Amino acid sequence: MSDLAIDHISKSFGATDVLHRIDLTIDRGDFLVLVGPSGCGKSTLLSIVAGLEQPTSGRILIGGNDVTTAEPKERDIAMVFQSYALYPSMTVERNIGFSLEMAGVAKDKRKARVREVAELLKIEQLLPRRPSQLSGGQRQRVAMGRALVREPEVFLFDEPLSNLDAKLRVDMRVEIKRLHQRLGTTIVYVTHDQIEAMTMATKIAVMKDGFVQQFGAPKDVYDRPANVFVATFMGSPPMNILPAEIVEARGGLAVRFEKDEIAVPAHIDLDAVHAGQKTFLGLRPEAVHLGQLPSGSLAWTFDHTVDVIEPTGPSTLALMEFGEDEFIASLPGDADIVAGESYTFAADLSKALLFDRETGNRIAHRPGTEAPAPTLSVVGAKG
């Protein structure tokens, strides 16, 4: 049985349609991340799950119960927001235990439960303090403690790490993930940060303009994005997107782009392409290597001047100008290159994706090919 079902949810504020027929179902223990640019409707959807907003149409089911019209407190949920408003005059201990106090839980029981949660979050020593005596990260932990203490069916997080500095964000990201692994709770987590989505989620829903663009496991979303939006939104640096066209070639179809022509990669469904079709070729920066690939692998090899080099430490990004488009190769950190020079690059075409230029949708892979399969050899490069 699904733990949370978001069933055909739409939401309008007056004449503004903010959510369009959202369908998402997750199981107990799933970590669902709603990710997308600011304003795409993530918080509105989370608020509808929480019961803080009413949908215009559609239903919410938690643990199999239709809670669409239920009050927030009648739903088995707890929520952690970006601005974690703690009660300033109360100690950390009382802040965490406050919901139990309101529910009339006896003092001894309450104390024990708060201590348990504090141990889990490693904040036992903070229990006597007040919020003003805490750092941002510690306050965030207390806010999480407040949610954890209630043992709800589903935890809801709305950009809980946005106010933290970069280092702390990464630390807390790992801690939330560790907590999830230990407790096995069901989580819905909103973020605009695609790295948080990739690293934490068991399921990702990528949203844009109130529509779910794709719903799936992180690896599927990354390897087989539904469309150009998802392909370029998920991944940093983003996927390279080159205008291309399907053309007739000796004995079959080929992809023409830049000054080159390659055979349609073998993992692409040939029934889904036709000569004359305008497409985009998608290549992840990490699929572009310096020098040649081992013979036998299908590569697109090209020489190009590097405009800008961005050493990030573990990798070195080589930025190139392809006409109007920017093209990025993600090379090893010790790659020995300088800006302004030309180098030979090889893009691994077994990982290439094709998108229809009209619809933006990814062109299907051959039925049965779960992952992009190794492909054939280059047809008349430099044609």
Q: Which residues bind Mg ion (CB under 5 A)?
A: 43
Q: Using CA of residue 318, residue 322, residue 326, residue 329, what is the dihedral sign?
A: negative
| Residue with Cβ nearer ligand ADP (42 or 180) | 42
- Sheet containing strand 288-290, edge to edge, reads 288-290, 342-348, 299-305
221 binds, among ligand ADP, Mg ion, none (CB under 5 to 8 A by kind): none
- For residue 40, give every residue at least 6 positions away whose Cβ sits within 8 Å of its Cβ, in sequence order, or none: 207, 208, 209, 210
Question: Strand 77-80 to strand 154-158: parallel, antiparallel, or no bridges (unpaired)?
Answer: parallel
Give the nearest distance from C-beta 183 to ligand ADP in angstroms.
26
Q: Which is nearer to ligand ADP, 47 or 140 (CB)?
A: 47
* 89 vs 98: CA distance, rounded Å: 12
Least gap, CB of 42 to Mg ion (angstroms): 5
Q: Which does 18 bind (CB under 5 to 8 A by kind): ligand ADP, Mg ion, none?
A: ligand ADP
Residue number, 145 or 160, with CB nearest to ligand ADP: 160
Alpha-carbon distance of 2 to 203, in angstroms, equals: 13
Q: Which is nearer to Mg ion, 81 or 322 (CB)?
A: 81
57-62/31-35 β-pairing: unpaired
Residues 6 or more apart in contact with residue 45 via CB below 8 angstroms: 6, 9, 11, 19, 22, 34, 190, 207
Q: Which residues bind ligand ADP (CB under 6 A)?
A: 13, 16, 18, 36, 38-44
Task: For the CB of residue 44, give the shortest distance to ligand ADP in the complex, in Å.
Answer: 3
Q: Which is nearer to ligand ADP, 16 or 295 (by Cβ)? A: 16
In 3D, which of 274, 238, 244, 235 has the Cα closest to residue 262? 244
- Shortest Å, Cβ 34 to Mg ion: 9
Nearer Cβ to ligand ADP (13/87):
13
Smaller CB distance to Mg ion: residue 117 or 207?
Answer: 207
Smallest separation, CB 141 to ligand ADP (Å)? 23
**Are 228 and 211 within 8 A, CB to CB?**
no
CA 113 to chain centre: 33
Assign residue 305 a region: left if phi > 0, alpha if psi is -120 to 50, beta otherwise? beta
Nearer to ligand ADP, 36 or 55 (CB): 36
Give me the least distance between CB of 42 and ligand ADP, in Å please.
Answer: 4
Written as six digits, the tokens of 141 are 């932990």
Q: Which residues pair with 154 in a beta bridge?
A: 77, 186
- CA–CA distance, 230 with 208 (Å, rounded to integer): 9
State in angstroms the smallest separation of the CB of 341 from ligand ADP.
Answer: 42
| Whole-number Å distance between alpha carbons of 351 and 330 | 14
Min. distance of Cβ 36 from ligand ADP in angstroms?
A: 6
Least distance (Å) from ligand ADP to the CB of residue 142? 24
User: Among residues 45 and 298, whose Cβ is nearest to ligand ADP?
Assistant: 45
H or E segment at 317?
strand 315-322
- Binding-site partner at residue 41 among Mg ion, ligand ADP, none, CB < 5 to 8 Å by type: ligand ADP
Which one of Mg ion, ligand ADP, none is in contact with 363 (Cβ closer than 5 to 8 A by kind)? none
* Nearest-CB residue for Mg ion: 43
Residue reference for tokens 């009648």:
74
Is 136 within 8 Å of 164 (Cβ atoms)? Answer: yes
C-alpha dist (Å) from residue 317 to 128, 145, 312, 328: 48, 40, 7, 7
Peptide bond into 55 cis (omega under 30): no
